Amino acid sequence: MTAPTQAPDEAPTAASAPAVRLTGVGKTFGDTPAVQDVTLDIRRNEFFSILGPSGCGKTTLMRMITGFEVPTEGTVELGGVNANGVPPHKRDLNMLFQSYALFPHLNVGENVAFELKVRRSRPKAEISKAVTEALALVRLEGYGERSIAQLSGGQRQRVAIARALIGRPSLLLLDEPLGALDQKLRAEMQLELKKIQREVGVTFVTVTHDQEEALTMSDRIAIMDGGRVLQVDSPEAIYERPATRFVADFIGTSNFLTGTLGGDRLGVESLGNLAVPRGHGLADGTGVHLAIRPENVRLTREEGEAAAGRVALPGTLQQIVYLGNATRYHLTLTDGSDFIAESRGADRSGLAMGEPVWATWDPARSRLLDQ
């Protein structure tokens, strides 16, 4: 399988250096390692997501980029410059806080202008022009005089985005940016954030546990679990070619069959020898997982109905679940394990619950994972 980390670009110069380069970064709190040996590059102007379940270390990793946490191992480079030991207020990056962290004693305009007033003395007219532009960017024209208490959650987030972007940092870190919004607003903001990112040309790094969020917004995603980065790839590659069993399970849904490899066949106890994708490059005798996405599984009544070359396993249909845009079929295989198939739209299979069925798939659409 591919290495979970990405090879650094060759000999970076300041101009071509990645926005962020992490080399062997680790963080231990007391005896508990929160982040271990993370090496990855975040390219300039990309929308990068760090995705993982809660407690996987993604927030700690982000806080080391912002400077709120100091790594116990490794180096953090920002724009080609070692940032270890540089305090947060001297880093050319801003953060969008999950709670927005707007200053309650300042109005909207003063919140947005905050960084310009603190970082450098600028003429008043210039600041107010920048505030107007920043508010226009997040579609809050004319809100400058409002107090923070008068705003809705979605508006507060827009103010926080305007405040974080007014100084045009080279990097914006977003901590669970959509976590506090309701479903509908969330979908709207996903597109909006992506649009803003393209408009201002700032590298966005978002931390999230929501896979849908990461898949829709990101150019690339890093999947984290247990303090380690398991895979860094485009959303499509993460979904189509997961590097580990955890990734295949965490992103979308997968069926797993575990067995021992022998040539182009996988020996699975009490299920037999199944065809696997060709050219996997793994040695015979390796213990591996075969991952099959439910949408790649077809159900038939007879084994013979399956097209040639497809793997077919017998089972019993337990349940049919209608999901609106898809139908999900839960089966039990002959060894007692669960297996899921999915088809688009409503159920047109004519199958009844409790009926014996065959689950079939094209081995080329399954994936072998050795970890």
Footprint on this chain of another protein (rule: CB under 8 A)? 66, 68, 87-89, 93-95, 97-99, 101-105, 114-115, 118-119, 147, 163-164, 167
Write 32-36 long-range contacts (CB < 8 A, 24+). 33/227, 34/60, 34/227, 35/60, 35/61, 35/64, 35/71, 35/227, 35/228, 36/226, 36/227, 36/228
- With CA atoms as reference, report the closest residue to 256 among 288, 233, 286: 288
Cβ-based nearer residue to another protein, 103 or 322? 103
- Under DSSP, is residue 22 helix (H, G, I), strand (E, B) or coil? strand
DSSP string for residues in 45-101? T-EEEEE--TTSSHHHHHHHHHTSS--SEEEEEETTEE-TT--GGGSSEEEE-TT--
- With CA atoms as reference, report the closest residue to 174 among 111, 113, 217, 226: 217
Cβ-based nearer residue to another protein, 97 or 239? 97
> In whole angstroms, how close is the CB of 105 to another protein at the nearest point?
5
Cβ-based nearer residue to another protein, 88 or 345? 88
> In whole angstroms, how close is the CB of 103 to another protein at the nearest point?
6
d(CA 175, CA 100): 9
* Dihedral angle computed from the Cα positions of residues 124, 130, 133 and 137, in that order, rounded to the nearest 10 degrees: -140
> In whole angstroms, how close is the CB of 155 to another protein at the nearest point?
17
Cβ-based nearer residue to another protein, 101 or 282? 101
- With CA atoms as reference, report the closest residue to 41 among 63, 69, 65: 65
Cβ-based nearer residue to another protein, 164 or 297? 164
> In whole angstroms, how close is the CB of 137 to another protein at the nearest point?
17
Q: List, in order, residues 6 or more apart from 196 with CB less than 8 Å away.
A: 137, 138, 161, 165
Cβ-based nearer residue to another protein, 146 or 330? 146
- Under DSSP, is residue 364 helix (H, G, I), strand (E, B) or coil? helix
Half-sphere exposure of 28 (CA within 13 A, CB side): 8
Q: Are 31 and 203 in contact (CB under 8 A)?
A: no
How far the first Cα of the chain sits from its last, in Å, is 8
Cβ-based nearer residue to another protein, 178 or 230? 178
Cβ-based nearer residue to another protein, 94 or 211? 94
> In whole angstroms, how close is the CB of 118 to another protein at the nearest point?
4
> In whole angstroms, how close is the CB of 208 to another protein at the nearest point?
17
> In whole angstroms, how close is the CB of 87 to another protein at the nearest point?
7
> In whole angstroms, how close is the CB of 185 to another protein at the nearest point?
21
